[in-house]
Structure 1
Amino acid sequence: MSDPVLLQRFAAWLQPQPSAVDAERSAFFQNGIIVLDTNVLLSLYEYTETSREEVLSALEQTAGRLWMPYQVGLEFVRGRRSTLESRKRALADAASDVNKKLMAARKAIIEAKNLVRTQLDKYARAPEEVASLDALVKDAEVDKHLSVYRDEFRRHLDMLKTDHGLALNATDAEDPILPRVAELYGEGVGQQPDDDVLRKRLEEATAFRFPNKIPPGFADSDKDTPLKSAGDFLLWEEVVEYVSHLPEPSRRVLFVSNDTKEDWYESGSGTRSSRPWPSLVDELKRRAGAELRVETQLHFYSGIREFLNVELAEDTYAEIVRVSETYDAKIHSDGQLVTEETAPRLPPPEGLPLVALQSVGLTSPAVRAAVDSSSPSHWTFQWWLIGVTAQLGRRVPDDREPGVGFAAASRSSERPSPLWKPGTVLPPGEWLHRDSSWIAPWFMELLDATPKIDRAVLRGLAAQQAQENRRSHG
């Protein structure tokens, strides 16, 4: 006896959240088609060379069933360069930052020696001790000791430049990943939709689906152009059309993506998503007579290991976890609070740090370089600047802009953290309420490296924010 109509009609909504132990899961790895989202393919540029080879070998076991929508192919071939450029900038910024910090260390050592020397000369009249100190801490000796660290740091950074097996200035012809991906897919790449079809799909997305938050893709509705906003929906439409023409036994789609935003996943009880939208399962069943399973990259590769008997080394799987978590942190920043702990792992939205900088009139090349930097060592400052300019009303934040939940300074009777500096480390007149203030160590480093023209602006922002926070907390 068949199920009542109500249970049939809403079967997708009544099913529990998909899990790794579902009895039906193996069928999606062994039959039907596999669609990899653009972010999964671009992840290949993030792995080390050894791990990338293992991942590509694992994907070769699914090569006969991989299918690439035209939209994915377009985003992939256009996104490769920016992925490589981002890594190139990050490594260049890291090398520059290391050199600056070593120069600051050199300066601090010499200044510390001069301070002790002055005290010896002033209070002890100990010329022998002064001469001994001068002999111990010579500029050349300091440089010699620091060069050990400089060489070792440089060695590690140079290793990172070569460990991925990708030339940072590679041309298309020198890209080793592109031909491997092309070989994986063979003829399994979608055709470019006709202009009339594309126009019709864009109208449906922007006029009907996005305003009503019908998945997928509505979370991207505020991008620069309708074409950019509708990328996920265009991909989805290609999948629906393609699978509807497959033989009945092959109408299974395993869609793999790192994207778990609200336009792909139903909201859970907390701040994270719980399961792929049942409406996606319903729509593919209704329009194409096909079954759908949506998995993250992590679950997909664990499924390959389990159902296709593919070996992936633990180091490789750890890299998959690392790359996925980085992407996951980025896409889940919308609507969530960026903390001092998460800021160094989360690149700010492109262009937002510059908007924050311009809103307060910071003009020095040093601060502009820190704002433009793609190095994680500058992300904490960039996020703070984004947060403080919004908090103090210096600019109007975007509705989808992440909130920032940390400050550069605090007014309290107790030190917030053992590393925070008392406000008295700054000269009188440079900080309000010096005796009751504490300053974050990263902010002190920033002030030390900032020219006078911008230092006063940064100090003022931090001090005002500390006062606002104290007032709001009673």
Structure 2
Amino acid sequence: MNMEDPALLRRFHAWLQPVPSPQDTARLVFFQDALIVLDTNVLLSLYEYTAESREEVLSALSQVSGRLWMPYQVGLEFVRGRRSVLESRKRVLGDASKSVNAKLTAACQAIIAAKNTVRAQLEKYARVPGEIEDLEHLVSEAAVKEHLAVYHDAFKAHLEMLKNGHDLTPVNVDTADPILPRVAGLYGDRVGHQPDDQLLQQRLDEAVAFRFPNQIPPGFKDFGKATPLNAAGDFLIWEEVIEQAGLLPEGNRRVLFVSNDVKEDWYDTSNGKQRPWPALLDEIQRRAGAELRLETPPDFYAGVGEYLHAELAEDTYAEIRRVSETFTPPALDDGAVVVASTAAKIAPPAGLPVTAFRSAGLTSPILRSTMESLAPADRLAQWWLIGVTAQLQRRVVSEGEPQVDIAAAVRGGEVPAPDWKPGTVLPSGEWIHRESSWIAPWFLDLLGTLPSADRGILSALASEQAAENQRPSK
């Protein structure tokens, strides 16, 4: 930015810059002398890596150790979240094993049922005892189980390999966490101080009363969590970063912020490309006179390797990319509410989606498979069914069960979001209030995969929930 430029170009300099990329020539200086801030999720990822990859990553971080700085909020979230990462992995692998067993059992039952269908036709139309006997011998339950055992053993071996490939368990964290002292050594005394109560209250008020309602980044996507403190974690980190940036020597105020979080409250995707919000670059420049660069862990570690010659094997880069792409918050904050924008990032408690499935009287194997799925893409449907069966009292809510605020449909004349569809897209016999309702696109996609019986049950649940939500609260 040139101070001789016209005011319009100077005022909106951050908004007029091209989308940054790993090939930017300006990137080098950030790896050479910028203050480096790792988000909580980057540090918690250390508990996701295999032992060999973790050692390489920690070695790479040692190359920039003198420039690492940890906000107090990051430290708090890191110390509190370590065990949850390991418990999450243990639960996911355990659920995967149960899911495999259930699916293979269902496959066996489906094959036997198919055999019985053929046998019934043979008995009805052919009356050929010899062929029926051959069929029973070929497709006996024992024979099917023997064939499926090959797949069972292969799947089990892969899951066991995943379990054995990680050297950390929740017990490690409780007794002798090997990662915590290594991270502490990387930072030394470069850890932020806890803000006093007055400053914390001031920041929380600014976040929930002004910034979040106006969608000012960062962190506004977390608006709606149970408490302001739960919702404002990203903003509290951001405030500490700006404060620390202002303490850097003038003329050398650069911050490299590394995070797995690429939600819309950090990145602008309105033009079809993903770029850090110019508002962030502008704010840190105005308030601290500093430059900012955001990077994901894969790009950051690649930059450490390229510019600082850290040695990272290709397998380690692949693991960094995998963990970065699949990393989700390890647990739901106490009292937090699951909403549509956060559902994919939070795994429901084990077994709860299937409990909701049963309580609604659903029977479709397709939908049952969705409820058992471990894929983040299926979590929105899982959380909605959990929430709607609780809201409409189709089941008894267990103690400590997360609150859910997700709607599949709404009543009213105003469309909730541009991609929601009018109720008229569904047949009149299937959907009531067609002229005065809107339906979420993900819910329509879900209905399209189901047989009529379960489709009707879900439509009834969504319609009843929309009517319930329209009633004024008492």
> What TM-score do the two structures reach when normalised by structure 1?
0.71
Query: Which residue of structure 1 lines up, in the alignment, with residue 466 of structure 2?
Result: none
Check conservation: 2:353, 2:371, Cα contact below 8 A.
no
| Residue type at the aligned position of 2:290 | A
| Residue type at the aligned position of 2:326 | T
Residues 268/371 of structure 1: CA separation in 2 closer, same or farther (3 Å cut)? closer
Provide the rounded CA distance (Å) in 1 between the counterparts of 2:291 and 2:74. Answer: 21
Residues 275/135 of structure 1: CA separation in 2 closer, same or farther (3 Å cut)? closer
Query: Which residue of structure 2 lines up, in the alignment, with residue 460 of structure 1?
Result: 456
Q: Deviations over 1:365-384 (max 9, x none)?
A: 99999787572399276378
Query: Which residue of structure 1 lines up, in the alignment, with residue 43 of structure 2?
Result: 41
SS of residue matched to 1:293: strand
Q: Any stretches of 5+ residues in structure 2 without a counterpart? A: 331-337, 389-405, 428-445, 462-474
Provide the rounded CA distance (Å) in 2 between the counterparts of 1:378 and 1:208. Answer: 32
Check conservation: 1:360, 1:394, Cα contact below 8 A.
no
Check conservation: 2:348, 2:383, Cα contact below 8 A.
no
Provide the rounded CA distance (Å) in 2 between the counterparts of 1:17 and 1:229. Answer: 28
The CA deviation at 1:72 is 0.7
The CA deviation at 1:316 is 2.3
Question: Is the aligned partner of 1:128 residue 2:124?
Answer: no
The CA deviation at 1:29 is 0.6
Query: Which residue of structure 1 lines up, in the alignment, with residue 435 of structure 2?
Result: none
Provide the rounded CA distance (Å) in 2 between the counterparts of 1:54 and 1:240. Answer: 30
Query: Which residue of structure 2 lines up, in the alignment, with residue 376 of structure 1?
Result: 375
Query: Which residue of structure 2 lines up, in the alignment, with residue 231 of structure 1?
Result: 233
Between stretches 304-313 and 247-256, larger displacement belongs to 247-256
Question: Is the aligned partner of 1:218 residue 2:220?
Answer: yes
| Residue type at the aligned position of 1:254 | L
Provide the rounded CA distance (Å) in 2 between the counterparts of 1:392 and 1:249. Answer: 53
Between stretches 191-200 and 7-16, larger displacement belongs to 7-16
Check conservation: 2:353, 2:372, Cα contact below 8 A.
no
What does 1:247-326 align with in structure 2 at a 5 Å threshold? 247-248=249-250, 250-270=252-272, 274-326=274-326
| Residue type at the aligned position of 1:261 | K
Provide the rounded CA distance (Å) in 2 between the counterparts of 1:42 and 1:115. Answer: 53
Residues 386/156 of structure 1: CA separation in 2 closer, same or farther (3 Å cut)? same
The counterpart of 1:62, out of the listed 61, 64, 68, is 64
What does 1:75-474 align with in structure 2 at a 5 Å threshold? 75-167=77-169, 169-248=171-250, 250-270=252-272, 274-327=274-327, 346=344, 362=360, 375-376=374-375, 379=378, 382=382, 390-391=407-408, 443=450, 458-461=454-457
Provide the rounded CA distance (Å) in 2 between the counterparts of 1:403 and 1:299. Answer: 35
Q: Deviations over 1:286-326 (max 9, x none)?
A: 33232222222232122112211123323322233233333
Residues 13/113 of structure 1: CA separation in 2 closer, same or farther (3 Å cut)? closer
Q: Deviations over 1:416-461 (max 9, x none)?
A: xxxxxxxxxxxxxxxxxxxxxxx999757xxxxxxxxxx95x2523
Residues 84/461 of structure 1: CA separation in 2 closer, same or farther (3 Å cut)? same
| Residue type at the aligned position of 1:74 | L
SS of residue matched to 2:293: strand
Provide the rounded CA distance (Å) in 2 between the counterparts of 1:223 and 1:400. Answer: 20
Provide the rounded CA distance (Å) in 2 between the counterparts of 1:384 and 1:226. Answer: 24
Check conservation: 1:67, 1:189, Cα contact below 8 A.
yes
Check conservation: 2:353, 2:382, Cα contact below 8 A.
no
SS of residue matched to 1:21: coil
| Residue type at the aligned position of 2:321 | V
Provide the rounded CA distance (Å) in 2 between the counterparts of 1:373 and 1:226. Answer: 32
| Residue type at the aligned position of 1:113 | K
Query: Which residue of structure 2 lines up, in the alignment, with residue 435 of structure 1?
Result: none
> What TM-score do the two structures reach when normalised by structure 2?
0.71
The CA deviation at 1:225 is 1.0
Provide the rounded CA distance (Å) in 1 between the counterparts of 2:220 and 2:252. Answer: 29
Between stretches 72-81 and 386-395, larger displacement belongs to 386-395
SS of residue matched to 1:105: helix
Residues 170/379 of structure 1: CA separation in 2 closer, same or farther (3 Å cut)? farther
Provide the rounded CA distance (Å) in 1 between the counterparts of 2:122 and 2:364. Answer: 36
SS of residue matched to 1:248: coil
Residues 335/248 of structure 1: CA separation in 2 closer, same or farther (3 Å cut)? same
Check conservation: 2:219, 2:266, Cα contact below 8 A.
yes
Provide the rounded CA distance (Å) in 2 between the counterparts of 1:83 and 1:401. Answer: 36
Check conservation: 2:329, 2:345, Cα contact below 8 A.
no
The CA deviation at 1:463 is 8.0
The CA deviation at 1:35 is 0.2
Provide the rounded CA distance (Å) in 1 between the counterparts of 2:352 and 2:33. Answer: 49
Query: Which residue of structure 2 lines up, in the alignment, with residue 3 of structure 1?
Result: 4
Provide the rounded CA distance (Å) in 1 between the counterparts of 2:233 and 2:200. Answer: 11
Question: What is the percentage of aligned positions where both structures have the same residue?
Answer: 56
Q: Any stretches of 5+ residues in structure 1 without a counterpart? A: 412-438, 445-454, 466-474
Q: Deviations over 1:246-286 (max 9, x none)?
A: 3336522111122233332334313x5x3223332333233
Provide the rounded CA distance (Å) in 1 between the counterparts of 2:114 and 2:457. Answer: 30
Provide the rounded CA distance (Å) in 2 between the counterparts of 1:284 and 1:134. Answer: 74
Check conservation: 2:356, 2:385, Cα contact below 8 A.
no
Check conservation: 1:120, 1:130, Cα contact below 8 A.
yes
RMSD: 4.6
SS of residue matched to 1:30: helix
The CA deviation at 1:121 is 4.4
Query: Which residue of structure 1 lines up, in the alignment, with residue 433 of structure 2?
Result: none
- How many positions carry a matched residue from both structures? 412
Residues 170/195 of structure 1: CA separation in 2 closer, same or farther (3 Å cut)? same
The CA deviation at 1:71 is 0.5
Check conservation: 2:345, 2:376, Cα contact below 8 A.
no
The CA deviation at 1:364 is 8.1
